[in-house]
Amino acid sequence: MFAYEFMRTAFVAAFLAAFVCGPVGWFLVLRGQSFASHALSHVGFAGAGAALLWGQPALLGFGLSAVVSGMGMGMASDRVIGRDVMIGLVLSLAMGTGALCLHFLTRSAGAATALLFGDILGISPSSLYWLGALAIGCVVCLGVMSRPLLFASLQPDVAEAKGVNLRLLDVLFLALVGIATAMCSQITGVLLVFTLMVAPAAASLRLGFGPMLGMAVAFALALFEAWGGLCLSWLSDCPASFWIALLGSAVFAAANLVAHLRGR
């Protein structure tokens, strides 16, 4: 299967997506913001559709709209309005805009399907440079902010008292979630971002690893899902996103079983 360039490209793209989704997803689950990635992927869908209409790359439109929306979510004060209400409103607006874009994209139904369900085998080798730069930038930023982010996630009141800027961290982190969502959507599609972003991280947390090891395990599990999905897709001729979703559920179920057996 590695004789084909599109397969080699797919494996590298899957590695880069897992590299970002593992640690970002770990914080996302820890902070109870899993739904944010789902919402941002829908916002990104609208952005990608709009970009295609303007003849721009879908990844560019997806990334920009997801990052801007993530920062907007972070800036919205949860003391004024419930975070879940805000995310729900953004999601509804994005779905409506996405529907509008789909209406105009009927000449290219394949593009819409690729956005919704992913098209990992269609990623061009030149896209890997973009994905690689985004992955490195995203993980470096997360690494720099991970200590105060962990503190703020677990104990917001104490962190604020110790001088941690909660709002700044919220905005920066959700911007990173936007980038990670854009990368992940290239692999799994908009509708299945949850499987690569949340399932490995939730399994890692369920197993009780500490922050550093937990993020590493989340990356390893995401990589297992992504590469496993590609291999199974090759063998079965079924979509990779289906296998990734199936492996994500299996990994989480297995982690729950292990945690239960260990008395956690």
Question: According to the binding rule CB under 8 A, does residue 154 interact with other proteins?
Answer: yes
Count other Cβ atoms within 10 Å, centred on residue 11: 18
Residues 16/184, Cβ–Cβ less than 8 Å: no
* Given 3, 80, 161, 261, the residue binding other proteins (CB under 8 A): 161
Residue list 95-124, contact with other proteins (CB under 8 A)? none
Question: Considering only 37-45, 111-119, 150-158, 177-185, which stretch makes contact with other proteins by CB under 8 A?
Answer: 150-158
Q: Which is nearer to other proteins, 155 or 249 (CB)?
A: 155
Choose between 65 and 146: whose C-beta lies nearer to other proteins.
146
Stretch that binds other proteins, among 6-14, 53-61, 145-153, 222-230 (CB under 8 A): 145-153
Query: Is residue 26 a contact point for other proteins (CB under 8 A)?
Result: no
Nearer to other proteins, 136 or 158 (CB): 158
Q: How far is the CB of 263 from other proteins (least distance, A)?
A: 9
By CB under 8 A, tell whether 31 contacts other proteins: yes
Cβ–Cβ under 8 Å, residues 50 and 61: yes
Of 55 and 210, nearer to other proteins (C-beta) is: 210
Does position 203 bind other proteins by CB under 8 A?
no
Q: Report the residue from 2, 107, 129, 157 that binds other proteins according to the rule CB under 8 A.
A: 157
Does 82 sit near other proteins (CB under 8 A)?
Answer: no
Give the one residue of 30, 105, 174, 230 binding other proteins; rule: CB under 8 A. Answer: 30
Residues near other proteins (CB under 8 A) are 30-32, 143-148, 150-164, 205-206, 208, 210-212, 214, 264
